[in-house]
Amino acid sequence: MAKAIHMMIRVLDEARSVEFYRAALGLGIADRFQFDSFTLVYLRSPEADFEIELTINHGRTEPYALGNGYGHVAVAVDDLDAEHARLTASGFSPEPIKEFHREGALMAQFFFLTDPDGYRIEVLQQHGRYR
């Protein structure tokens, strides 16, 4: 049985991205591997094994084209309102909180946040299937 272990995104500025994910999502560096032409940085939360792999291609100066295939990565939090307020106060400009209802019941409460390279992050209230 396959187990999801990480997702990879290409970023321009290692320090800027590491700081964003630390301050916004509480992710810290689990490992960092430097190669001749690129560096891999694995970010992880102390509460979960799933990681975000940042790939930094040395010498790259142009932003990456995200295309229309990438959607988002999602994280779940204990207190969505508190996280939204904290991110807003920290200057991250999260989008407004939204709700999805299905068959008359709350399915999800969430908002989106965008990282320095334009990748979208969905922040969900822990509820139902989102834990």
- Identify the pLDDT of residue 12: 96
62 by Cβ neighbours in 10 Å (0-12 / 13-18 / 19+) ranks as: exposed
The confidence score (pLDDT) of residue 3 equals 83
Tokens of 96: 């407004």
109 has pLDDT over 80 = yes
User: What is the domain count for the chain?
Assistant: 2
Domain with 106 in it: what CATH number?
Answer: 3.10.180.10
The per-residue pLDDT for range 51-107, each reduced to its tens digit, is 999 999 999 999 999 888 888 999 999 999 999 999 999 999 999 999 999 999 999
To the nearest 10°, the Cα dihedral for 91, 118, 69, 34?
A: -120
Residues 78, 127 within the same domain: yes
* Domain final residue pick, 59, 92, 107: 59
2 and 46 co-located in one domain: yes
User: Does residue 122 carry a catalytic annotation?
Assistant: yes
**15-61 pLDDT per residue, tens:** 999 999 999 999 999 999 999 999 999 999 998 999 999 999 999 99
Any domain includes 87: yes
Instruction: Answer yes or no: is 81 within a domain.
Output: yes
Residue 61 has what pLDDT? 95
